[in-house]
Amino acid sequence: MDRSKTIIRTSFFAILTNLFLVTFKATVGIISNSIAVILDAVNNASDALSSLITIVGAKLSTKAPDKKHPQGYGRIEYVSAMIVSAIVIYAGITSAVESVKNIINPGQVEYKTLSLIILTVALLVKFLLGLIVRHQGKKVASSALVAAGTDSLFDSILSLSVLISAVIYLLTGFSLESYVGILISAFIIKAGLEMLLETLNDILGRRADADTIRKIKACINEEKEVRGTYDVILHDYGPEKTYASLHVEVADTLTAEEIDRLNRKIEAKVYCQLGIIITAVGIYSYNTSDNEAAKIRNKVIEKIKSHDWAIQVHGFYLDTENKTMRFDVVVSFDIKAQEALKILYKDMKELYPDYTFQIAPDLDYSDL
């Protein structure tokens, strides 16, 4: 709730500031007949609208889970971010069209000292706004605020180009208005496309953050019963709503009651320390009483690791009595899983023809 309040408060502040800038820049642009200044004002107006949509998204994302959406509404923030991206792209295209029109039919530009002072103040205000919004975005881990803050800082640079073009016009009489307008439009469109792609990556699912994976593994591996943690998969249901599933490797002597107690301890520990909800803990067992298993395990791993695409072997268990062997192999994206399996089964059959194998290919979805 504190996070939501911060996002709403910061976005509301951004709206007021941008509306203030729109008023002054539009006034200067109309008085001086400057297309570049007017387009800069339009850009600020789109920023204000973007902040409004961010507020709506933040409010809706805090809605409690219900029967239709048991994981909550956190991903609405991504939808609002896509809408903001579309608005930014539209503003950029509109600005480009108006700039081209002004090149074809140029108007007379007329700047005054007061206009330059207003533009300078507006530039500084936009720069400070960008710093504040980006800082708050990083503070509450809001990609929408970070993007808005970065966009404001970038806008201040574009506003500087408008100011420079005005100074050049006053000194030389040469007008760069429309060309600066096209430049601004190009940067606006670029920023909108980058925001859109960033949001699409969130929706499609990103590669798990390596630092987060390391923290989860370190937290679990502290437990004396755990020899290793593997296959950590993060499920993102919006900011601060992360779920995870994983496997732990334990001795084959543990009872069901001991494993159950360990699972519950792991779930509570990870949530308290990292705020991540563990939804499933799979179990790998390792041999504790068969010395032959260790020798065979080393030989198997050596053979598998001879392939460049084989990143890691884990979950190894050998049943010498029933002649069965099972393990997982993490394979890179350089090879298809089915192709890797064919090679692995062929290699294992050559090494141990009397054994039956159960090999599971895992994708390299997190840094090991």
Give 261-318 pLDDT, tens digit per residue. Answer: 999 999 999 999 998 999 999 999 999 887 788 889 999 999 999 999 999 999 999 9
Whether 190 has a pLDDT exceeding 60, the answer reads yes
pLDDT band at 109 (very low <50, low <70, confident <90, very high): low
Q: What pLDDT shows up at residue 240?
A: 65
Give 75-101 pLDDT, tens digit per residue. Answer: 777 787 788 778 778 877 877 787 787
pLDDT band at 1 (very low <50, low <70, confident <90, very high): low
**257 or 240, which is more confident?**
257
Q: Cβ neighbours of residue 70 under 8 Å, at least 6 residues apart?
A: none
Residues 115 and 28: beta-carbon distance below 8 Å: yes
Whether 43 has a pLDDT exceeding 90, the answer reads no
Q: What pLDDT shows up at residue 77?
A: 74
pLDDT band at 258 (very low <50, low <70, confident <90, very high): very high
Q: What is the 3-state secondary structure (H, E, C) of the chain?
A: CHHHHHHHHHHHHHHHHHHHHHHHHHHHHHHHCCHHHHHHHHHHHHHHHHHHHHHHHHHHHCCCCCCCCCCCCCCHHHHHHHHHHHHHHHHHHHHHHHHHHHHHCCCCCCCCHHHHHHHHHHHHHHHHHHHHHHHHHHHCCCHHHHHHHHHHHHHHHHHHHHHHHHHHHHHHCCCCHHHHHHHHHHHHHHHHHHHHHHHHHHHHCCCCCHHHHHHHHHHHHCCCCCCEEEEEEEEECCCCCEEEEEEEEEECCCCHHHHHHHHHHHHHHHHHHHCCEEEEEEEEEECCCCHHHHHHHHHHHHHHCCCCCEEEEEEEEEECCCCEEEEEEEECCCCCHHHHHHHHHHHHHHHCCCCEEEEEEEECCCCC
The model carries a pTM of 0.62
Give 309-367 pLDDT, tens digit per residue. Answer: 999 999 999 998 899 999 999 998 889 989 999 999 999 999 999 999 999 998 765 55
Rounded percentage of the chain residues whose pLDDT exceeds 90: 33
Give 142-177 pLDDT, tens digit per residue. Answer: 767 777 787 777 777 777 777 787 788 777 777 776
